[in-house]
Amino acid sequence: MRDLAAGFGYLLKGQRWVARHGRQYGFGLLPGLITLVLYLAALIALAAWGADFVGWATPFADDWSSPWLGLFRGFLTAVLFALSLLLAVLTFTAVTLLIGQPFYDSLSETVDRDVSPDSTAPESQQPLWRDLWISARDSLRILVRALIWAVLLFALGFVPFVGQTVVPVIGFFVTGFFLAEELAAVALQRRDVQLRERLALLRSRKTLVWGFGTPLGLAFLVPFVAVFLMPGAVAGATLMARDLLGEPIEEGGHREDADPAGAGPHETGAGPLN
């Protein structure tokens, strides 16, 4: 329970950090807004032409009598849209992080400097294109794992009682774990922690990760909320990553604000993280 509360605490501390660093928050919103527009366009297109796609994909049902044809294709259309929504929730963070890699790297690095006792932060030794490639590759690997879980949980959803009670709860914890991994990867990739090592690190303290990622996953189900929480989620995940690696966290920040490159006026005595 202590780790669960600590994970949730890092989520809140991240939101407080960006609330005190308005410039970082403003830049951190841009990738989420871009991703939101792209996803909304895709979902609107699916709503408009999803039924046509299902009809094209099921020509064998053309000769079925009413009402079975309508019920069958209506069910498939609903399933297609539901799976698309689930996929959107699972991939929103990954796509936003990929689009906003330079923004979030800068934000995470600034958080590291702000809470580090010596005001330093690990820096990536890779060129930007290499960081983008590693991020995209690792996100795809995480997406495959998440999709396997999604298909399994979808199938278990048809089991009476269990599918309506236990399975949704498991689904939220699974989603929370993968969300936390994607967000913590921003800080851990700068430290050259590879995907397999990251997963082992997060599994070693699952309750901490669930405390951070599960409430965030629930919040992301509310339309548009993900866009506004993303900058703080990256900040909070950076704090959580430091905890996972045993790095010290200074409870009082060094900066009141900073520019996107991490350089800016220093002010001691910024409010405490908690």
Domain count, the chain: 1
| Domain span holding position 62 | 2-244
Cα distances (angstroms) measured from residue 261 to each of 12, 43, 105, 232, 242? 24, 35, 9, 17, 21
Query: For 272, phi and psi rounded to 5 degrees?
Result: -65, 155
Q: What is the pLDDT of residues 89-122, one digit of tens each?
A: 777 877 888 888 888 888 999 999 999 888 887 7
Q: What is the pLDDT of residues 67-86, one digit of tens each?
A: 888 888 888 888 788 778 77
pTM (2 d.p.): 0.75
Residue 260 belongs to a domain? no
DSSP β-bridge partners for residue 272: 252
Tokens describing residue 104: 């979030």
Residue 249 belongs to a domain? no
Residue 13 belongs to a domain? yes
Which has the minimum average pLDDT: 21-35, 53-67, 97-111?
A: 53-67
Q: Confirm if 46 and 84 have CB atoms less than 8 A apart.
A: yes
Residue 92 belongs to a domain? yes
Residue 272 belongs to a domain? no
Q: Confirm if 97 and 186 have CB atoms less than 8 A apart.
A: yes
Residue 261 belongs to a domain? no
Residue 264 belongs to a domain? no
Q: How far apart are CA 61 and CA 73, in angstroms?
A: 9
For the chain, percent of residues with pLDDT exceeding 70: 91
